[in-house]
Structure 1
Amino acid sequence: MKRTLLLLLSLVMILSVLGAQGAQETKQSGPVTLKYAFWGNPDAIGVEQDIIKAFEEKHPDIKIEPIVSGYADYHTKLMTMIAGNMAPDVMRIDDYYFYDFIKLGAVESLTPFIERDKIDLELYPKMGIEEAIVDGQIYGLPWGTAPLYMLLNLEVFEKAGVALPSLDWTTKDFERIVRSFNPQEDKVYGFAIDTNYLSSVLPHIWSKGGTLLSEDKSRYTGDSAEASSAIQMLADLYKEGYMPKDTINSGNTEALRRWFSNGTVAMMSGSAQEILAIQKIEGIRFEAWTMPQAVDSKNTTVFKSNTISISKSSKQKEAAWTFTKFLRGVEGEDLYVRAKRFPPTLNIPENWALYLDPNLYPKQIKQNSELIAKQYGHTLPLRTGYAAIESKVIPAVQSAMLGTKTAAQAMADIRADITKIIETNSK
């Protein structure tokens, strides 16, 4: 699926060079219909329908036509629509791919709208706004800005007699805790990781003092001794049986969620969406934690955003902006938080009262989320070509875990490919 998306990115790039231009605003009598594209499972679709209904009641002259698919197929579908000159008016974009969409000329700068309407950007998470800015222009409003937590199954820790880590735990603490479990006897593993996403791997690289790209994102640094040692640590834990053998073959977060929920795994990284799904398991007790840290840096927990953008080709940009403001304003946020779609993402402290349920875990998600935003958060090294870079790094990580190469060899072998990707996407 990722390979298909990369091919479509190349196709749309060619089409954009051939002359894709911003559409002229079309004025029409009667209601305006906007196409709004987003991803989601059945639970997520429900709150989107509620938001659309509330918006249409407030703006009867604008109708919303939802275009929804599962996340796995979503960006491929979106690229196909753009390539076919059928782009939606408003679209949610995962920030993994956001910079490619900007380079393609697929999204409109929102800076003129924001300045005209005097939108208070202090309302939004700082890291979310920073990810939406390219060359001084803001190309979207943040959506779902939240940490990727380390999730801890409290019952598994208690049964094994293993103490929970502190929020300031280090990579040495992480390795010690994982090795404290005895999967050979009780079939309970200390940790499982979805190796299909860089966002799961990068915290471990950071916790060893390594990086994937240079600070300005112009050079590959994933073959440094620090980065390679992090991959080798994961590989050793896997090969020694401290992680489920199906970790690499499972290929999806649902498998990890199942292991975590049934007590097979003590720890896994997880997003707000995983938390929502796990909360449906009756009686489960778990916490949302920071990721292990380096000795000299606490900033190892991914703090990631997505973006709501307006299509460059939309002929109804004013209406699209009206919907975008609602969707990512106080009213839309209120509905998202009440539905537990994600923790509060706007700087409105009162919204936590809408999100928290005293009967559900994780009990410390509010304080830990706020601490991550202030002290422990780390943005991803996003840039044009990020998806292509990920497509090279992930197989290298998996080959190290399978033992076909050492981590140092695997990460060094992809240097030329990633350097070429960076150079190609820097033109």
Structure 2
Amino acid sequence: MTAYHPLPRRRVLSGVVAAMLALPLALGACSSDDSAADDGKIELSFFWWGGEARAQLTEQALALYTSKHPEVTFKKTWQANQGYFDKLATLTAGNDAPDIFQIDDNYLAEYATRNVTADLSEYTKSGKIDTSKFQKGLIDYGTVDGKLAGLAPGENTQGLVYNKAKLDAAGVAVPTTGQTWEQHIAWAKDAGAKTKVAGTMDPSADYKAFWLWLRQQGKELYNGSELGFTQADVQAWFELWKGARDGQSTPTPDVIHEGNATDVTKQLVVTNKALTSWVWANQLPELQKNTKDDLAVIAYPGDATKQWARASMYFSVYRGSKHKDVAADVLNFLVNDPEAGKILGTDRGLPSNLDIRTQVAASTDNEAMKETIKVMDELGKNFGPAPTVPPKGHSTVRSELIKAAEEAQYGRATPAQAAEQFFAASQAAIKR
């Protein structure tokens, strides 16, 4: 088995990274010195982020591909999420980008508009990459300027995870899909009083909650390369959650900050500091690993048809790769081969291929995973159209929302003042 090559974490100033990405790409350059040798062998470089478990699963799936295509081998490189995009920017600037790399919606539009990513639509149209079993929104959400910049190996959507065990023990009705935001906040106040655990995490700093709430108001987070909301919208959002905090439906600001700042394994529904956490639906199994209490997941409040099939992440092919056709075949294999699907499971989200998803659900003994797939399939029947991929600056917009929301959460700013702060910072971020 080929050894892993974990990369050291490194932090590069965002301005330097942007400057690197802006450098011209020598598209004819070989991305990994992997031109076919005289014996017809091809080595593809493959770069992703994740932990040891993801590395092992990815290694096994790629080894399976090589067993069926002995002429193709892989140079595999992985690291933790922190510093990953700094490294990818450095490789891209040096015309040494991996043939295949993992990317998310924070950066997909930026890399696509800089012509780093190959257009995969030529392969989906020819059938060389089969997306016939995908939710349409997954293709739409990977398309930038009419070109498919990334293929989603997994599907996701917003998920409200709640502590079913504590609610059942206290005789409190569980939250349900379809409750309005106001009904959820009222439910949280009652549930908190009866269980002595705060009813709901305050998600005012959570961009995916804000985004869905905007869609339910007929707005979007973005309209192309512009903001899709007004300062008044942000103020209304912050005021909604100020009312929830004042009514003791949420934890205290310090505990809310914990929820804003920690990873999925330490969310408040796991640390018993709130009865709900606002996460991605596919994170239920990971949350369940970290508590003995039974958890469950539903849609976010409001009109659930405004949720959409969101790519958990993407696989992109480097436009300068000398082996784009082979790379496309690898992607097709990873998302459509039943054996590969069984290996990869739900590590990168629920399988995009609905047949593979059904297979995974039938073969797993993980009850949380089965519950997640069941909920996602039910929600998927009513998914609305996917929004456009976020423009460059999206990662800054996300961080600015946390800053502004916490100003309001701690009472250092009124909802109006925090809204003004966030709106101005967001406008600046997407215009850079």
TM class, shorter-length: 0.7 to 0.9
Q: Aligned to 1:158, which of 133, 143, 168? A: 168
Match of residue 399 from structure 1: 407
After TM superposition, the structure 1 = structure 2 runs for residues 344-359 of structure 1, keeping only pairs within 5 Å, are: 344-348=351-355, 351-355=357-361, 357=364
Match of residue 412 from structure 1: 420
Give the 3-state SS of the residue equivalent to 1:142 in structure 2.
strand
Match of residue 286 from structure 1: 295
Q: Give the drift of 1:6.
A: 3.8
Q: Give the drift of 1:171.
A: 0.4
Amino acid at match of 1:369: M
Match of residue 263 from structure 1: 272
Match of residue 179 from structure 2: 169
Q: Deviations over 1:45-96 (max 9, x none)?
A: 2211210111111111111122111223322322232223331110111122
| In 2, Cα distance between equivalents of 1:323 and 1:75 | 22
Query: Contact conserved, 1:193 with 1:256, CA < 8 A, in 2?
Result: no
**TM-score normalized with structure 2 length:** 0.83
Q: Aligned to 1:85, which of 87, 95, 104? A: 95
Match of residue 18 from structure 2: 10
| In 1, Cα distance between equivalents of 2:214 and 2:13 | 26
After TM superposition, the structure 1 = structure 2 runs for residues 43-122 of structure 1, keeping only pairs within 5 Å, are: 43-122=53-132
For structure 2, the residue ranges without an aligned partner over 5 or more in a row are 1-8
Distance 1:302 1:405, change over 3 A: farther
Match of residue 305 from structure 2: 299
Query: Contact conserved, 2:231 with 2:419, CA < 8 A, in 1?
Result: yes
Q: Deviations over 1:230-250 (max 9, x none)?
A: 222224434665225233245
Match of residue 251 from structure 2: 243
Amino acid at match of 2:396: A
Deviates more, 1:140-149 or 1:363-372: 363-372
Give the 3-state SS of the residue equivalent to 2:316 in structure 1.
strand
Match of residue 313 from structure 1: 320
Q: Give the drift of 1:292.
A: 0.3
| In 2, Cα distance between equivalents of 1:117 and 1:359 | 33
Match of residue 39 from structure 1: 49
| In 2, Cα distance between equivalents of 1:3 and 1:302 | 33
Match of residue 154 from structure 2: 144
Match of residue 360 from structure 1: 367
**TM-score normalized with structure 1 length:** 0.84
Match of residue 341 from structure 2: 334
Q: Give the drift of 1:43.
A: 2.4
| In 1, Cα distance between equivalents of 2:131 and 2:13 | 32
Give the 3-state SS of the residue equivalent to 1:123 in structure 2.
coil
| In 2, Cα distance between equivalents of 1:195 and 1:80 | 34
Query: Contact conserved, 2:101 with 2:315, CA < 8 A, in 1?
Result: yes
For structure 1, the residue ranges without an aligned partner over 5 or more in a row are none
Query: Contact conserved, 2:178 with 2:304, CA < 8 A, in 1?
Result: yes
Overall identity of the aligned pairs, in %: 19
Q: Deviations over 1:105-127 (max 9, x none)?
A: 21111233333445443222211
Q: Deviations over 1:139-176 (max 9, x none)?
A: 22112112221111101212333211232111011111
Q: Give the drift of 1:221.
A: 1.5
Query: Contact conserved, 1:326 with 1:332, CA < 8 A, in 2?
Result: no
| In 1, Cα distance between equivalents of 2:278 and 2:262 | 13
| In 1, Cα distance between equivalents of 2:61 and 2:128 | 23
| In 2, Cα distance between equivalents of 1:70 and 1:352 | 30
Q: Give the drift of 1:129.
A: 0.3
Distance 1:51 1:166, change over 3 A: same
Let me know the Cα RMSD of the aligned residues: 3.2
Work out whether 1:21 is the aligned partner of 2:21.
no
Amino acid at match of 2:426: I
| In 1, Cα distance between equivalents of 2:227 and 2:346 | 42
Q: Give the drift of 1:410.
A: 1.6
Query: Contact conserved, 1:194 with 1:252, CA < 8 A, in 2?
Result: no
Give the 3-state SS of the residue equivalent to 1:189 in structure 2.
coil
Q: Give the drift of 1:206.
A: 4.4
Amino acid at match of 1:368: V
Q: Give the drift of 1:363.
A: 5.8
Query: Contact conserved, 1:8 with 1:80, CA < 8 A, in 2?
Result: no
| In 2, Cα distance between equivalents of 1:3 and 1:212 | 32
Distance 1:12 1:128, change over 3 A: farther
Amino acid at match of 1:159: A
Work out whether 1:372 is the aligned partner of 2:375.
no
Amino acid at match of 2:70: P
| In 1, Cα distance between equivalents of 2:210 and 2:94 | 35
